[in-house]
Structures are given as C-alpha cells and as structure tokens.
C-alpha cells in the first residue's frame, strides 16, 4: 500500500468554504508550490528582450526630432523601466532563476534604469514589507496615518499627505518617501543599519544616473539638438513615469476599502495577512500581462518563490481554493479615485478606513484580537 504524497494530497484538496477556518500557510503554499519551478533560459531571454526595447526607446528619444515623438519614446521607456524593475524584484526574491548568484547579477542589471540600489530594496521589501505586510509601525509602504497622527502633523506635512492620498500623488510619494528617503543614501533613521553593501550599491546607482544624464547631454551635442530638451525627454520623463508607475502599483496592491491594516502583531498574525492584505487587480486588454503579472499579487505574497512567468496560474489556483477570501478588483479609474477618496486615514480601534475628518468610509474589518 503506497502512501499519498502530501503535496499531491494538498493539491487535490477541496476548496475551503467561505467562513471556514483557513488552513496553515504551509498548506496554502503547497497548492502553488508545484508552480515555483524556475527556468534560466526564459528568465535571461525576458531580461534581454526588455533591455533591448528600453535601449531602442532611449535611442528614439535622440533619433526623433519632433518633441511629441521624443515624449512618446520617453513615456514608453518609463514603462519599460517598470517591466525591468519587476524582473529585478523577482530576482531579488530569488524566484527568477534557480541560481542565487545569477539572480543577484540579473537583479542588479534589471534595476539599473530605475536607479534602485539592489541591497537596500532587498532589505526594505523582502524583510520588512513581506515579513510584516500591513503591520503599522513595521511595514512603511503606504502605511496610513491615524486621525491623531494626522492632526499632530505641521500644516505643510498635512498638505503633503493630502496630495499623496489624492489619487494624483503616487509619483511624488514614491520619489520622495521611497526612493529619496529610503533608497538614495538613506539616513540610519530610515534603514536602522548601515552596511558597506548599501553604500556601494548607492554609489553604483549614482554613477549610473550621472552617466545616463551625461549620455543624453552628449547625444544632444553630437546631433545639434537642445541639451535641455534631450535631458528632459531622455531622462526626466522616463524616470518620473517609472516613479508614477511603481507608486501606483504598490498603492493598489495593499490599499482597498476591504483591506485591513493592523497595529497589533498578535491580531495581525491571526488575520492571515499574506491573503487578507493583498489585492488582485484585474486589467482589460492584457495590460496585466504587459506588467509581468505583478498584479496577481496574492500568489506572490503567499509564496515569493513563484516566478513572474507562473504567477497567473498560481493566482488562479488560490482563487479556486479560497473562494470569496481573496480581494479581486476589476480596475477602472472610477474605482481607483473612489478608493483614493475613501482610504485617507485608518482607525485601528474601529478597524476601518476614514476620511481626513475621521469619518468612517469602509465597513469594519473582522476582529482578530
């Protein structure tokens, strides 16, 4: 008599009915673990393809004379920076290829156009964000303030928070709060520690950024074009578009009227945060695929080892096994700005989102105390 393989048994398990206790995270992960096989060939080819498209668009900002053509190339290059960063994000999780050293190399190469220091992202994202998703006081990514915290801020900072949470502020939020304060030679108050690797990665990124600007200046001089226009279209526009893209992505991943934040670690652990604090945002026209399926985000938080080229299948499996448990949202600009209107501050006592006046704008979340 042969014993049934535990992994196979988990895969064959029946979906968990709404309201029934969730199984242990190990069981939930076992449903998608078979999808975590990483392939070096497809990983390298994806990176080369995205780098080739990015380089071609950079060349386009120089080759085209019309400002609008330069602008289109710059905006598209910004989008490609986002695609490359998603590859780097995967490599930083060691989920891109089966080889640890190769992941580090590919990750650094993929993150170059976003001017992201690999080691700082690895600590802030892998350790802090994934380790303590939506736990106030630890996870700092779009962490909402309470009414008391907001009222205690100086007027200029209240204004800045209003801009960040307006729906129009993701680019500014990521540029200031994430990149400038936590990625570009951050103070110890933001990182908690200083390592030689952080400094060298920062120097590397700084040199790349200066070289990028220098290349745009040289290209303008060699072709007799405006230096200012070329720097704007070939550097400023792509970099700002990238910041808007990543700011938007991390916002919608964990901000939703149905998403709960916690300020108590015990209650947070009981709430199965790897499932309950993430949003699967569905886009029309295969836009999600163009973003390397990063919006199939629940699967990524359940098991970071699933590579980006398997996330769609992993997300589908989770939603089959956990009907009604995963937040699935069809994207529309109307939904997005309604979320931005409702999700300003968070009341941890009433377990709900509020506006800036402290008035509840969402239903109370379940209590896990």
Q: Locate tokens 């001017």: which residue? A: 115
Burial of 122 (0-12, 13-18, 19+ CB in 10 A): buried
* Segment 105-112 mean pLDDT: 96
Q: Yes or no: say if 119 and 244 are a contact pair by the CB < 8 Å rule.
A: no
pLDDT band at 284 (very low <50, low <70, confident <90, very high): confident
d(CA 191, CA 112): 21
* Secondary structure (DSSP) of 195-244: -HHHHHHHHHHHHHHHHHHHHHHHHHHHHT--HHHHHIIIIIHHHHHHHH
Q: What is the mean pLDDT of residues 63-81?
A: 97
Question: Which residues are paired to 262 by β-bridges?
Answer: 135
Q: Coil, helix or strand for 65? A: coil
Predicted local confidence at residue 347, as pLDDT: 97
User: Where exactly are the structural domains of the chain?
Assistant: 114-354
pLDDT at 6 over 70: no
Share of the chain above pLDDT 70, in %: 96
- The residue among 91, 85, 365, 360 whose CA lies nearest residue 245 is 85
10 band by pLDDT with thresholds 50, 70 and 90 = very low
pLDDT of 20 above 60: yes
**pLDDT exceeds 80 at position 111:** yes
* Beta strands at 352-354 and 345-347: parallel, antiparallel or unpaired: antiparallel
Query: Residue 189 — pLDDT band, cuts 50, 70, 90?
Result: confident
Please state the rounded mean pLDDT for residues 214-222: 98
Any idea what the Cα angle at residue 50 is, between residues 46 and 52, rounded to 5°?
Answer: 115
> Residue 2: is its pLDDT beyond 60?
no
pLDDT mean across residues, the chain: 92
Residue 158 and residue 357 in contact, taking contact as beta carbons nearer than 8 Å: no
The share of the chain scoring above pLDDT 90, in percent, equals 78
| pLDDT of amino acid 4 | 42
Please tell me which residue, 273 or 334, carries the higher pLDDT value.
Answer: 334
Distance of alpha carbon 322 from the chain centroid: 23
User: How far is residue 183's CA from residue 191's CA, in Å, rounded to a whole number?
Assistant: 9
Least confidently predicted of 97-106, 187-196, 291-300, 349-358 = 187-196
Does residue 273 carry a pLDDT above 90? Answer: no
Q: How far apart are CA 40 and CA 38, in angstroms?
A: 7
Lowest-confidence region among 54-58, 162-166, 186-190: 186-190
Residue 118 above 90 pLDDT? yes
Tell me what pLDDT residue 271 has: 87
First to last CA, the chain: 45
pTM value?
A: 0.92
Judge whether 255 and 339 are in contact, CB under 8 Å. Answer: yes
pLDDT tens figures, 308-346: 999 999 999 999 999 988 999 999 999 999 999 999 999
Flag whether pLDDT at 8 surpasses 90.
no
Predicted local confidence at residue 192, as pLDDT: 67
* Bridge partners, 280 (sequence order): 296, 328
**pLDDT for 274 beyond 90:** no
């Amino acid at each position: 008599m042969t014993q049934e393989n535990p992994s196979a048994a988990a895969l064959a398990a029946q979906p968990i009915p709404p309201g029934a206790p969730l199984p242990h995270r190990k069981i939930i992960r076992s449903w998608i673990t078979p999808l975590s096989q990483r392939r070096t060939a497809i990983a390298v080819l994806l990176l080369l393809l995205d780098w080739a498209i990015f380089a071609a668009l950079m060349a386009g900002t120089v080759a085209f004379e019309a400002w609008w053509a330069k602008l289109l190339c710059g905006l598209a290059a910004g989008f490609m920076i986002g695609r490359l960063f998603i590859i780097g994000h995967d490599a930083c999780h060691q989920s891109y290829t089966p080889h640890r050293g190769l992941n580090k190399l590919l990750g650094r190469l993929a993150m170059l156009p976003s001017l992201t220091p690999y080691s700082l992202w690895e600590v802030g994202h892998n350790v802090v964000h994934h380790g303590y998703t939506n736990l106030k006081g630890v996870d700092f990514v779009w962490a909402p303030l309470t009414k008391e915290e907001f009222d205690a801020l100086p007027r200029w900072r209240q204004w800045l928070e209003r801009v960040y949470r307006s729906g129009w502020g993701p680019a500014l939020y990521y540029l200031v709060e994430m990149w400038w304060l936590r990625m570009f030679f951050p103070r110890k108050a933001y990182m908690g520690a200083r390592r030689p690797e952080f400094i060298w990665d920062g120097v590397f990124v700084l040199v790349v950024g200066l070289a990028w600007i220098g290349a745009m200046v040289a290209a303008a001089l060699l072709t007799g074009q405006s230096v200012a226009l070329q720097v704007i279209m070939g550097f400023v526009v792509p970099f700002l578009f990238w910041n808007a893209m990543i700011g938007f992505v991390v916002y919608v991943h964990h901000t939703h009227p149905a998403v709960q934040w916690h300020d108590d670690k015990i209650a947070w652990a009981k709430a199965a945060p790897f499932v309950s604090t993430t949003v699967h945002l569905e886009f029309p026209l295969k836009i999600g695929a163009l973003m390397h399926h990063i919006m199939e985000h629940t699967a990524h938080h359940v098991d970071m080892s699933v590579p980006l080229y398997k996330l769609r299948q992993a997300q589908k499996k989770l939603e089959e096994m956990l009907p009604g448990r995963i937040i699935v949202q069809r994207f529309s600009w109307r939904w997005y700005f309604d979320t931005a209107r409702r999700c300003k501050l968070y009341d941890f006592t009433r377990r709900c989102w509020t506006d800036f006046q402290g008035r509840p704008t969402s239903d109370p979340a379940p209590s896990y105390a």
